Amino acid sequence: MKLPRTTQQIYKAVHKKVSWKGAVKGDLLFFYGGRTHMGVYAGHGYMIHAPSSGKRVKKIKLNGYYKRNFHGAVRPGT
Torsion of CA 34, 36, 41, 47, to 10 degrees: -120
DSSP reduced 3-state for 26: coil
Q: What is the pLDDT of residue 78?
A: 79
- The whole-angstrom separation of Cα 78 and Cα 64 is 28
- The whole-angstrom separation of Cα 38 and Cα 41 is 10
Q: What is the pTM of this model?
A: 0.95
For 53-77, write each residue's pLDDT tens digit. 899 999 999 999 999 999 999 999 9
Amino acid at 13: A
